[in-house]
Structure 1
């Protein structure tokens, strides 16, 4: 995993995911985000190449929630997102639960690196989504 920082888009896989969103027609961008979330939710063991897009997708969903932070990184999608369906919010929460879970390679990699900032950043993102999901 080519990772350069703790941000939700600060790795090669998430940056590539942003390109996939940009390549999709505007009407299909929400489906790309939904697919990334569902892959994470349904995985028995969440590979980091599946976890990183799920985190990025959750950040995009959260950016449209009250209290959510806009995605301003150069590694996020360049093209505007449509208003995302609100049913993505609980999916994003479940995907982040999978990313932080015991069967997540992404969590394992950050734990092994001894990082103390990545997981709290994911938890803050989750809090925004939980509040918005009702």
Structure 2
């Protein structure tokens, strides 16, 4: 499971579809609807949030918006649309780690997109994340 801290605009089609599926699975875990992935490290930041389902809904809303902008037909009924707000913190080291990881994937899977983004020095985070200085997150498996 990869719940990117990066803005979903950077993902190739396969990556965006995978993120949608994985975030829906994460939502199911938070709702207690599945036995698998309950202790997945990337879920920690959502599980530790004061309102985990609101945070996951906001996370999914941004993915959905990116899909709509690309003309994809994701099912909005799978997410709870909320007007609430939630912020999660991500370290600059985590964002750098994820950026390098994504660029390695794009170099192999979608070279055109890799070329488009390769000059990016500071990628944008997912809009619900606030970036703070720091190393790679403790939950990241490197």
TM-score by length of 1: 0.39
Structure having the higher helix fraction is 1
Structure having the higher strand fraction is 2
TM-score by length of 2: 0.37
Greater radius of gyration (CA): 2
